[in-house]
Structures are given as C-alpha cells and as structure tokens.
Structure 1
Amino acid sequence: MAISGKIIAGIKMPDSAIAVQATELLREHGSDLLYNHSLRSFLFASLNAQQNNIQCDTELLYVSAVFHDLGLTPHYRSNDKRFEVDGADAARNFLLGHGVSPQSLQLVWDAIALHTSPGIAEYKEPEVALLNYGVALDVVGKGYNLLSDTDRNEILKHFPRNELKKNMIPAFFDGFKHKPHTTFGSMNADICSCMIPNYKQLNFCDAILHSPWSE
C-alpha cells in the first residue's frame, strides 16, 4: 500500500523523491516489524513536534526514522559496529546521492546514531530529539498518555503492532547476535542478557580495574 502523501493522524507522509526511495529501501530490506515500527515512530515524532510547536525538517526526520533500524538487517549490518552506526552510515550514503548538504548529512547521522541514547538525544537538534521521542514512545510507551485515542487508533490501523512486545526483542537480537560486544554501554546489552544463556555483560568497572596501567 502506497503511503506517500497520505494524511495519517493529521500528519502528511512525505512524498518527495527522497522519501519515496527511502521507503522503498525499507520495504526491500526491512521486515514488516521494522517497517511498521519505523513509520509509527515518524508519526509519533511528528505529532510531538506539532503539539509542541517544534520546527523541524520533516523530510530529514522521515529519512532518519526510515533508516534508524536498518542497521539490523543483513543488507546493512556490519561485523564490528553498533547497529545504530550501521544505520546512520547507510542513511548518509543514501543521502549523498541526492545532493544533501553536509550539515543535513550530519544531522541525519546523529539522529540515527543517537536514537537509543536517552539523556543525550533530547538535548540535540529537533530532528534528533524528535526521533528519540518517537522511537521511545513506540517501544516503551514514553509519552503514551499524551497521545490521543483517536490518533493512536488511526496510526495503528495503518501500521499495526502485530505483537511487538513479543517479537521485538528476538528481532533486534537477530541483528547483532553475531557481535554482542558492540552493545557495551547501550540498552542493547540488556537484549543480549535476555537472549544469551549465562551472558555476562562487559563491565566498565572491570575495564578500569583490569586496564594495563600499573596504578
């Protein structure tokens, strides 16, 4: 179903060439779970911007939302980087072919790379903070009470959750189970602990105490 240009919960889905091509890549390389999650996150972020009169570049926010989890997919994931960095690199490479300014490239890169970094992202540029908000609302319900029943139901009609609570943890783990060390210092280490029997997270205190320094 084409979603470009549709108005959902009062938000117009971007219909520029960049937005359409980004959506096609998400459809091609992402699962239904990632597709629905990414577009719900965009809509939640956009509603937050509308409700709080936050000015942002809607197209850049959309591309950020579309690419934010593509680093989990076989096509884009690396063997040695955090999945957020893989997604950020993919978005930057995509936008390079569209003559986007260096400032905009960095903005999208930051939005994706920092979308799992609460306590940092919300103090960055609007697009970065909004993506973090939209993702957090969809995954853990942050700001759920600020979303009207009407908007929530309309968004879910177009982009259903399909048992997200049960399916998201294994789906995300599948994207970085080959490189659990890259989750150190992030919430994704909790997913490794949940999914890998007897998994011991890297510990920063151990890293200090066992560093090669003599004292």
Structure 2
Amino acid sequence: MTISGKTIAGIKIPDSAMASQATELLREHGSELLYNHTLRVFLFASLNGQQNNLRYDPELLYVSTMFHDLGLTVHYRSDDKRFEVDGANAARDFLRGYGVSPQSLQLVWDTIALHTSPGIAEYKEPEVALLNYGAALDVIGKGYDQLSNANREEIIKHFPRNELKKNMINTFFDGFKHKPHTTYGSINADICACMIPGFQRKDYCDLILHSPWSE
C-alpha cells in the first residue's frame, strides 16, 4: 500500500522524496510490527500537535518517526551504543544527503535520541515532545483517553497492532540483547531485567560508593 500523501484521521502523510525514502528504509529493514507501530506513532504525535496548536515541521517529525526504532534492526544497530543513538545517527546521515540544515539535523537527532526519556523530552522542542508522546501512547497507552474512538479505529484499521502487547518486549530485547550494558540509566534496563534471568543492573549508589576517590 502506498501511503505517501494519504490522509488518515485528518493527518496527511508527507509525500516528499525525503519522506518517501525514509518510509522505504523502514519497510526494507523493519518488521511489519515496527512498520505499523511507527506509522501509528506519527499519526498519534501529529494529532496531539494539532490538538495543542503546536508549531512543528511535519516532515522532520515524520522522518524522525521513521527512524526512531530503526536502531533496533540488524542493519542499523551497533555493538556499543543505545539503540536510540543508533537510530538518531542513521537519521542524521540520511538527512545530510538531502542538504538539511545543521539546526534541523540536531533537532532530528534529539527527537530520536530522547524519545524514550520521559521527564525530559516533553520539555524540548515540539518535534521531540510529540515523538515521545506518540511512542508512549502506542506502547504503554499514555494519553489513551485523549484519542477519540473514531481516530483510534481509523488508525488501527490502516496500521493494525499485530498483538503489540505480546510482541513488543521481544522486539525491543532482540535489538539490544547483545549489548545490555547500553541500557544503564534507561527504561530499556527494565526489558533486560524482564528477559535475562538474574540480570544485574548497574546501581548508581553502588557506583558512587565504589568510585576511585579515596575519601
């Protein structure tokens, strides 16, 4: 199904060459679950921006959303960085090919890198806050009551949830199970604790007490 330029729940899918290419990369490297999740996140984020009369760049939000979970995939994931940073780096490299300004490159990088950082993202630029909102709504239902039944049904009709509640934890874990150390200080450590028997998270208090300082 071609989605470029399509209007769903009153939100138009960006149809520029840049947006279309970002969509194709997601189709190529992401699973069906990630693809549908990603498009729902964009629509949820855009509806929230519309409801709150926020001024933001729909195309930059769209590209950010297309890349926000690509750091979980085999093609984009590293051995030593948080998956959010892998996705942010990939998006920045992608956008450089389109001559995007340094300010916009940084905005997209922040939007992706901070999308799993509650308590920070919502106070950043609208694009950052909106992606965080859309992702949280789709994965944990934050803000669920702010979405109308009509919009919810239309979006899910186009982009089914694929039993996300059952499958998303495994999808996340598959993206960073080879580098659980990168989850320190993030919500992803909860996933490692869920999936790895006996997983020992780094403890910040322990790090303070055992620092190399002599006192």
TM-score normalised by length of structure 2: 0.99
Deviations 1:55-105 (A, max 9, x none): 100000000100000000010000000000000000000000000000000
Q: CA–CA distance in 1 between the matches of 2:214 and 2:38? A: 48
Q: CA–CA distance in 1 between the matches of 2:92 and 2:158? A: 28
Q: CA–CA distance in 2 between the matches of 1:205 and 1:39? A: 40
RMSD: 0.5
Q: CA–CA distance in 1 between the matches of 2:72 and 2:210? A: 32
**Corresponding residue SS for 1:119:** coil
Percentage of pairs with the same residue: 80
Equivalent positions of 1:97-136 (< 5 A) are: 97-136=97-136
What one-letter code is carried by the residue in structure 2 that aligns with 1:71? G
Partner of 1:60: 60
Q: CA–CA distance in 1 between the matches of 2:38 and 2:185? A: 23
**Corresponding residue SS for 1:213:** coil
Q: CA–CA distance in 1 between the matches of 2:192 and 2:139? A: 17
Q: CA–CA distance in 2 between the matches of 1:153 and 1:95? A: 33
The alpha carbon displacement at 1:162 in A equals: 1.1
The alpha carbon displacement at 1:200 in A equals: 1.0
Partner of 1:138: 138
Q: Which runs of 5+ in 2 are unaligned?
A: none
Q: After TM superposition, which residue ranges in structure 1, 4 or more long, deviate above 3 angstroms?
A: none
What one-letter code is carried by the residue in structure 2 that aligns with 1:130? L
What one-letter code is carried by the residue in structure 1 that aligns with 2:205? C
Q: CA–CA distance in 2 between the matches of 1:138 and 1:101? A: 30
Partner of 1:175: 175
* 2:184 pairs with 1:184: yes
The alpha carbon displacement at 1:163 in A equals: 0.6
Q: Which runs of 5+ in 1 are unaligned?
A: none
Partner of 1:214: 214
How many positions carry a matched residue from both structures? 215
Q: CA–CA distance in 1 between the matches of 2:191 and 2:146? A: 28
